[in-house]
């Protein structure tokens, strides 16, 4: 049996362990949250290093893309360096390959007609290929990085502008404490004045895409008629979205035991299967592997 462990800076309330058979191989998949404690995450990784087949790193990105380069986030360096024997991945490889493929899959299989729809991508910095896929499928884009990650009331509507700003800002952003950029707790924003500036973009959008933590923190009471494309969803999250009258939920990662794990888990599974990191594989190899494993997005249509 192969063992994959996702160590997350996020809430321990979302911890989960399950088993799955993938390409005829038994896997134990576990998620361990540290409630924002980076030192604890490092300790867990060191204690399991060499004893598991692959680590996923959740709740923090190791790298951000800007201006044609990958930049390592300063706070992630000690986490990355904690694993000496076992490969450690943060899901970037899956985000940069699989998520764009998912949009094409949804379009080609007539699950979603993207043409002419408005897509709000809550944070495109770590999901720029998802944003590209939506644009190429015919969506008008609202890129919410400035608003959702930095609290600046600015919506980027062009990939060209986004890439220009990313090249300027990412070298600075990687030096900030990650907690300033990413909502790692389960707290929802409750200040009506603050929420109003987010809700107007949820209302405009037909499709809301990206990291579920951002969506969950700021989403309005009603999501009637909306489509969400995300991942890292629990059974409780699904029930909450149903109560808010969401029309369709797509998770870019497959479902295991009623839960969609993060991209870091899927990438760790692929590394455990192949012994290769995704950046060392060609696009053709990755797509062939996805077909062999039969990984498909999870699609739930509620009405």
Instruction: Answer yes or no: are the C-beta atoms of 121 and 88 closer than 8 Å.
Output: no
Contacting residues for 246 by C-beta, under 8 A, at least 6 apart: 223, 224, 226, 227, 228, 302
Give the pair of three-digit tokens for residue 192.
Answer: 């009506």
> For residue 301, is it within any domain?
no
Tens-place pLDDT, residues 57-92: 998 888 888 877 888 899 999 999 999 999 999 998
- Separation between Cα atoms, residue 92 and residue 49, nearest integer Å: 21
Residue 114 reports pLDDT greater than 90: yes
CATH code: domain of residue 196: 3.40.50
Based on the fold, state whether residues 246 and 272 are members of the same structural domain: no
Across 237-257, average pLDDT: 92
Across 228-247, average pLDDT: 94
Based on the fold, state whether residues 246 and 158 are members of the same structural domain: yes
What is the value of pTM for the model shown? 0.91
Based on the fold, state whether residues 161 and 243 are members of the same structural domain: yes
- The mean pLDDT of the chain is 91
Q: What's the total number of domains in the chain?
A: 2
More confident residue, 175 or 138: 138
Whose tokens are 């893309």? That residue is 65
Cα–Cα distances in angstroms (integers) from residue 251 to residues 24, 63, 137, 196, 232, in the given order = 24, 22, 18, 26, 8
Across 265-279, average pLDDT: 88
Residue 186 reports pLDDT greater than 70: no
Instruction: Answer yes or no: are the C-beta atoms of 66 and 75 closer than 8 Å.
Output: no
Give the pair of three-digit tokens for residue 203.
Answer: 């209302």
> For residue 40, is it within any domain?
yes
> For residue 302, is it within any domain?
no
Q: What is the pLDDT of residue 239?
A: 96
Based on the fold, state whether residues 267 and 210 are members of the same structural domain: no
Across 216-235, average pLDDT: 94
Domain with 61, as residue range(s), is 2-91+256-296
Based on the fold, state whether residues 169 and 180 are members of the same structural domain: yes
- Separation between Cα atoms, residue 179 and residue 188, nearest integer Å: 15
> For residue 199, is it within any domain?
yes
Q: Using 50, 70 and 90 to split pLDDT, how confident is the model at 185?
A: low
More confident residue, 209 or 275: 209
Q: What is the pLDDT of residue 153?
A: 87
More confident residue, 224 or 195: 224
Based on the fold, state whether residues 276 and 154 are members of the same structural domain: no
Based on the fold, state whether residues 235 and 261 are members of the same structural domain: no
Of 208, 247, 248, 254, which is closest to residue 231 (Cα–Cα)? 254
Q: Using 50, 70 and 90 to split pLDDT, how confident is the model at 276?
A: confident
> For residue 36, is it within any domain?
yes
Residue 291 reports pLDDT greater than 90: no
Based on the fold, state whether residues 102 and 216 are members of the same structural domain: yes
More confident residue, 224 or 277: 224
Q: What is the pLDDT of residue 193?
A: 77
Whose tokens are 């062999």? That residue is 292
- Separation between Cα atoms, residue 208 and residue 218, nearest integer Å: 12
Based on the fold, state whether residues 203 and 244 are members of the same structural domain: yes
Domain boundary pick from 221, 236, 254: 254
Of 2, 6, 51, which is closest to residue 32 (Cα–Cα)? 6
Tens-place pLDDT, residues 89-110: 999 888 888 899 899 999 999 9
Q: Using 50, 70 and 90 to split pLDDT, how confident is the model at 232?
A: confident
> For residue 183, is it within any domain?
yes
Burial class (CB in 10 A: 0-12, 13-18, 19+), 271: buried
Based on the fold, state whether residues 202 and 103 are members of the same structural domain: yes
Q: Apex CA 132: angle with CA 77 and CA 274, to 5°?
A: 55
Beta bridge partners of residue 27, listed in sequence order: 2, 20
Residue 139 has φ and ψ, to the nearest 5°, of: -85, 150
What's 255's DSSP letter?
A: E
> For residue 303, is it within any domain?
no
Q: Using a pLDDT cut of 70, give the percent of the chain over it.
A: 99
What's 148's DSSP letter?
A: I
Based on the fold, state whether residues 133 and 116 are members of the same structural domain: yes
Based on the fold, state whether residues 279 and 199 are members of the same structural domain: no
Q: Apex CA 276: angle with CA 275 and CA 278, to 5°?
A: 145
Judged by DSSP in three states, 90 sits in: coil
Q: What is the pLDDT of residue 278?
A: 73
Q: Using a pLDDT cut of 90, give the percent of the chain over it.
A: 63
Judged by DSSP in three states, 28 sits in: strand
Across 185-192, average pLDDT: 73
Residues in the chain: 303
């Amino acid at each position: 049996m192969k063992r994959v462990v996702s160590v997350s800076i996020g809430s321990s309330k979302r911890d989960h362990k399950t088993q799955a058979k993938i390409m005829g191989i038994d896997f134990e998949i576990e998620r361990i949250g540290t409630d924002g404690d980076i030192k604890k995450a490092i300790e867990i990784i060191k204690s399991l290093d060499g004893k598991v087949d692959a680590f996923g790193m959740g709740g923090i990105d190791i790298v951000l893309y800007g201006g044609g380069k990958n930049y390592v986030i300063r706070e992630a360096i000690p986490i990355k360096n904690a694993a000496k024997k076992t490969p450690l991945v943060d899901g970037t490889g899956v985000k940069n390959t699989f998520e764009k493929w998912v949009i094409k899959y949804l379009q080609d299989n007539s699950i979603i007609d993207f043409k002419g729809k408005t897509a709000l991508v809550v944070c495109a910095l770590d999901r720029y290929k998802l944003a590209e896929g939506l644009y190429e499928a015919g969506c008008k884009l609202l890129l919410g990085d400035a608003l959702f990650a930095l609290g600046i009331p600015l919506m980027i509507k062009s990939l060209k502008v986004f890439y220009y700003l990313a090249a300027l800002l990412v070298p600075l952003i990687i030096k900030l404490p990650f907690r300033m950029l990413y909502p790692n707790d389960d707290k929802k924003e409750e200040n009506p004045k603050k929420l109003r500036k987010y809700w107007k973009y949820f209302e405009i959008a037909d499709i809301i895409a990206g990291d579920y933590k951002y969506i969950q923190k700021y989403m309005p009471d009603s999501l009637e008629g909306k489509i969400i494309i995300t991942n890292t969803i629990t059974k409780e999250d699904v029930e909450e979205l149903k109560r808010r009258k969401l029309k369709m939920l797509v998770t870019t990662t497959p479902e295991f035991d009623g839960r969609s794990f993060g991209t870091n888990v899927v990438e760790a599974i692929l590394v455990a299967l192949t012994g290769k990191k995704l950046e060392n594989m060609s696009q053709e190899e990755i797509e062939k592997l996805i077909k062999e494993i039969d990984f498909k997005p999870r699609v739930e249509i509620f009405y």
